[in-house]
């Protein structure tokens, strides 16, 4: 399709922009005409004067305010039932009341942004609006709001206000829109109930009403999801197109592996093993995610796969995100393999050069069967004689890009990813959308229960008393802190300070250790080993213990400033205890600053279902924060919201996978537009040659 407007041109040449504005726009990450066109408003406000909530006086006749709904309730008692809600803007809170407002119970929900206008009134000393006229501004479903009242609010920068951006885009729109070409076919759009691309692009900036904006959002969100899922489908097709060595599990191999294990596999482990065995038996690379809550026994399942590969004379890489975890895997595997002929080694960053050279040589010659390590295993110089299986523990720390980099050329290894972070379904489709999934949803028998309690800092005396009692009984305890060193901009007690206090005053009778991320690896390993082997009874730690550490005798955990952690993270932490037969206690110490954080922590006290907790965490904090500062590998989405748009995402996923299945390298003429879009958004990463 020929277009007169080149949307790839530098933004400076867009009518009405010029060099000065262009520099300012660059500051917002807008480099091309296309970037400008897809710089969408964050929300819409009423064009009519919206006043800050704090400025509303109790006797004003005509008030218009807008804000986010923080609370709702319906009071049906009394003579005049009413619906009440509280809204909040940057300046304050305001109560809105509708008598007989039962019809609003479903319409107004916490989290949406509404605007209201009406007369103010004073009730028991506070200002309220009674029966105001309601307008729902931000509501994904879209509602009725008259056209000229919508004022776009753009994410502003230091040198450009939202209004200035709005003006630039308003002027540029008529010139740029003709450059927007449709790449989905008419009948397809119709089938999916989607509006055209040009219309959507226009309505994203200047909708006639919120309904039209909803339509535009839906179209653009679908498009984003489709591209993302097509990229995943392609990645999957590429990962499985190379040949792999078939490694069927014979009854003899199965018997030999199982006699090595000191226990019987759970039903869930057996199911996962069967799924993995079926994958390994094929001459196409396995591409599977093994997920399950902490302590459910994933390592053993991975070891089953590893020993299958070894039985077929292939080498295995076992990769963990930290040296501590790599060491733990190594020790555990060694213990299972005692007396067998399987040859195992470690490869981590901090090893002496000679030791490292030795391991590398043995890997290259094929003498080593299994190598356990960290990302040091990704180095160029690591060569294998016959790599058959790659196991990666705690995958999300590596990110999708690294996943591809270990794959190399020629025969592809089978590939098993383990994660103990329960990933909500929505995110799983995005992060692991190119993988098959096995889930272990059952804990091995004979575990104690874990009780979780929320306490205030004022109750620490009692907590310490409880801890002393447990320690006297011979148990071990973790004390977890969110920070390592005291920093001046926060009043948090840091692990280092707390360590001193616990050691000298609070728990002087027990050997106590400190571990945190900034310590040299050798020191960390040393402390960890002392704790695992019981020479240290109390371990003060920053979040380094979060992943995978296994000390069955440690059944007590005190988490300070629990409100500073994410729910999923706390769940992970808690998974460190309750791994033995004894009951365990997790004590969350927090002085919740807001209702939200108390509500959040309460979820942990009530359930130990990791998926439920993850869904809740995601709902409360959104995908970005869900993973915290971790490298999460989520694609940047401009319009789609992985939580709100879940159904749309699923639809787009089905469509994308159908397209790629039918045309795995996107060569057919009717897929060329999709191919171009994919190249534009994902570039060379997809290994899609231009043209085709």
- Toward ligand ADP, which CB reaches closer, 544 or 649? 544
CB atoms within 10 A of CB 330: 22
Residue 68 is inside which H or E element, if any? Answer: strand 63-75
Among 269, 438, 542, 560, the residue binding ligand ADP under the rule CB under 6 A is 269
Angstrom distances, CA of residue 532 to CA of 8, 264, 454, 537: 58, 24, 27, 9
What is the distance between the alpha carbons of residues 655 and 226, in angstroms, rounded to a whole number?
A: 7
Residue with smaller CB distance to ligand ADP, 45 or 275: 275
Specify which residues 389 forms β-bridges with.
316, 414
Residue 424 found at the interface with Mg ion (CB under 5 A): no
Which residues on adjacent β-strands are paired with residue 73?
84
Q: Which of 67, 295, 422, 633 binds ligand ADP (CB under 6 A)?
A: 295
Strand order across the beta sheet in which 538-541 lies: 450-455, 584-589, 554-559, 476-480, 538-541, 512-515
d(CA 144, CA 578): 53
Binding ligand ADP (rule: CB under 6 A), the pick from 85, 234, 265, 390 is 265
Instruction: From 528, 546, 544, select the one nearest 536 (Cα to Cα).
Output: 528
Does the footprint of ligand ADP cover residue 292 (CB under 6 A)? yes
The tokens 């800050």 sit on which residue?
A: 52
Looking at beta carbons only, is 32 or 374 nearer to ligand ADP? 374
User: Between the CA of residue 618 and those of 297, 562, 641, 652, what are the distances in Å?
Assistant: 25, 17, 12, 21
Residues 605-664 that bind ligand ADP (CB under 6 A): none
- CA–CA dist 619, 637 (Å, integer): 17
C-alpha of 492 from chain center: 26
**At 599, which helix (H) or strand (E)?**
helix 595-606
Rounded Cα distance between 284 and 276, Å, is: 13
Scan residues 549-568 and list those touching ligand ADP (CB under 6 A): 550
Q: Shortest gap between Cβ of 318 and ligand ADP (angstroms)?
A: 12
Assess 413 for contact with Mg ion (CB under 5 A).
no
CB of 260 to ligand ADP, least distance (A): 12
Interaction between residue 266 and ligand ADP (CB under 6 A): yes
Radius of gyration for the alpha carbons in the chain, expressed in angstroms and rounded? 29
Interface with ligand ADP, residue 581, by CB under 6 A: no
Give the C-alpha separation, 477 to 506, whole Å: 13
The strand pair at 82-88 and 120-123 is best described as unpaired
| 458: number of Cβ within 10 Å | 9
Residue 419 binds which of ligand ADP, Mg ion, none (CB < 5-8 A, kind-dependent)? none
Residue 291 interacts with ligand ADP (CB under 6 A)? no
Backbone angles phi, psi at 222, to 5 degrees: -60, -45
Rounded to a whole number of angstroms, the minimum distance from the CB of residue 444 to ligand ADP is: 3
301-360 residues near ligand ADP, rule: CB under 6 A: none
Binding residue for ligand ADP (CB under 6 A) from 7, 172, 203, 300?
300
Rounded least distance, CB 437 to ligand ADP, Å: 15
State the number of binding residues for ligand ADP (CB under 6 A): 16
Residue 584 sits in the site that holds ligand ADP (CB under 6 A) = no
Beta-ladder partners of 556: 477, 585
What mask, x for binding Mg ion by CB under 5 A, covers residues 530 to 549?
------------------x-
Please tell me whether residue 296 binds ligand ADP under the rule CB under 6 A: yes
Give the whole-angstrom CA distance, residue 61 versus residue 47. Answer: 19
295 touches Mg ion by CB under 5 A: no
**CB-nearer residue toward ligand ADP: 268 or 429:** 268
What minimum distance in Å lies between the beta carbon of 547 and Mg ion? 8
Interface with Mg ion by CB under 5 A: which range of 28-36, 295-303, 449-457, 576-584? 295-303
Do the bridges between strand 370-373 and strand 315-319 make them parallel or antiparallel, or are there none, so unpaired?
parallel
Q: Which one of ligand ADP, Mg ion, none is in contact with 297 (Cβ closer than 5 to 8 A by kind)?
A: ligand ADP
Dist CA 320 CA 637 (whole Å)? 29
Contact call for residue 294 and ligand ADP (CB under 6 A): yes
Which of Mg ion, ligand ADP, none interacts with 388 (beta carbon under 5 to 8 A by kind)? Answer: none
Find which of Mg ion, ligand ADP, none residue 300 binds, CB within 5 to 8 Å per kind: ligand ADP
Residue 420 binds ligand ADP (CB under 6 A): yes
Shortest Cβ distance from residue 294 to ligand ADP (Å)?
4
Cβ distance to ligand ADP smaller for residue 227 or 554 = 554
Residues that bind ligand ADP (CB under 6 A): 263, 265-266, 269, 292, 294-300, 420, 444, 550, 579
């Amino acid at each position: 399709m020929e277009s007169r407007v080149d949307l790839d041109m530098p933004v400076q040449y867009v009518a009405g922009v010029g060099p000065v504005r262009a520099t300012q726009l660059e500051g917002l990450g807008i480099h091309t005409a296309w970037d400008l066109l897809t710089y969408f408003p964050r929300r819409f406000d009423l064009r009519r004067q919206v006043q800050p909530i704090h400025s509303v006086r109790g006797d004003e006749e005509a008030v218009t305010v807008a804000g986010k709904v923080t609370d709702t309730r319906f009071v049906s008692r009394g003579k005049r039932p009413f619906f009440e809600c509280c809204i909040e803007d940057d300046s304050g809170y305001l109560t809105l009341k509708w008598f007989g407002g039962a019809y609003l119970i479903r319409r107004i929900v916490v989290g949406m942004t509404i605007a209201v206008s009406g007369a103010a009134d004073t009730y028991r000393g506070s200002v309220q609006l009674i029966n105001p006229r309601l307008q729902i501004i931000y509501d994904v479903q879209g509602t009725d709001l008259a056209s000229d009242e919508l004022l776009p609010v753009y994410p502003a920068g230091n040198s450009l206000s939202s209004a200035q951006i709005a003006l630039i885009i308003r002027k540029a729109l008529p010139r740029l829109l003709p450059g927007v070409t449709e790449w989905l076919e008419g009948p397809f759009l119709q089938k999916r109930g989607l509006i055209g691309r040009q219309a959507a692009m226009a309505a994203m900036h200047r909708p006639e009403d919120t309904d039209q904006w909803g339509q535009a959002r839906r179209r653009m969100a679908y498009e984003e999801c489709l591209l993302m899922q097509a990229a995943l489908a392609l990645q999957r097709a590429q990962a499985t197109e190379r040949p792999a060595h078939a490694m069927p599990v014979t009854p003899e191999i199965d018997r030999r592996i199982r006699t090595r294990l000191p226990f019987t596999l759970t039903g869930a482990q057996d199911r996962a093993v069967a799924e993995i065995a079926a994958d390994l038996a094929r001459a196409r690379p396995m591409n599977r995610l093994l997920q399950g809550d902490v302590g459910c026994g994933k390592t053993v399942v991975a070891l089953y796969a590893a020993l299958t590969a070894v039985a077929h004379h292939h080498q295995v890489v076992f990769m963990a995100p930290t040296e501590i975890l790599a060491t733990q895997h190594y020790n555990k595997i060694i213990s299972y393999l005692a007396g067998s002929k399987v040859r195992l080694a470690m490869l981590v960053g901090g090893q002496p050069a000679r030791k490292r050279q030795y391991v590398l040589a043995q890997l290259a010659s094929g003498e080593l069967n299994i190598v356990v390590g960290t990302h040091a295993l990704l180095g160029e110089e690591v060569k294998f004689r016959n790599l058959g299986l790659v196991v990666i523990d705690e995958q999300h720390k590596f990110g999708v890009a690294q996943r591809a980099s270990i794959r190399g050329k020629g025969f592809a290894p089978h590939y098993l990813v383990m994660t103990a972070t329960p990933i909500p379904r929505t995110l799983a489709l995005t992060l692991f959308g190119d993988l098959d999934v096995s889930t272990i949803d059952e804990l091995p028998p004979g575990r104690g229960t874990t009780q979780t309690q929320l306490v205030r800092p004022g109750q620490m005396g009692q907590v310490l008393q409880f801890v002393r009692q447990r320690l006297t009984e011979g148990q071990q305890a973790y004390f977890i802190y969110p920070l390592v060193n005291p920093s001046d901009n926060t009043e948090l007690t840091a692990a280092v300070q707390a360590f001193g206090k616990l050691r000298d005053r609070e728990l002087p009778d027990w050997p106590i250790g400190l571990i945190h991320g900034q310590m040299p690896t050798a020191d960390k390993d040393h402390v960890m080993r002392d704790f695992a082997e019981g020479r240290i009874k109390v371990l003060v730690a920053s979040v380094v213990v979060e992943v995978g550490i296994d000390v069955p005798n440690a059944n007590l955990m005190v988490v300070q400033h629990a409100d500073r952690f994410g729910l999923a993270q706390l769940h992970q932490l808690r998974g460190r205890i309750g791994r033995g037969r004894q009951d365990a206690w997790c004590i969350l110490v927090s002085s919740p600053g807001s209702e939200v954080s108390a509500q959040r922590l309460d979820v942990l006290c009530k359930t130990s279902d990791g998926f439920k907790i993850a869904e809740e965490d995601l709902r409360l904090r959104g995908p970005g924060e869900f993973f915290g500062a971790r490298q999460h590998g989520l694609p940047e989405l401009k319009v789609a919201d992985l939580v709100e748009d879940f159904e749309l995402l699923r639809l787009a996923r089905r469509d994308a996978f159908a397209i790629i299945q039918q045309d795995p390298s996107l060569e057919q003429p009717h897929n060329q537009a999709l191919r171009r879009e994919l190249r534009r958004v994902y570039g060379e990463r997809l290994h899609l040659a231009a043209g085709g």
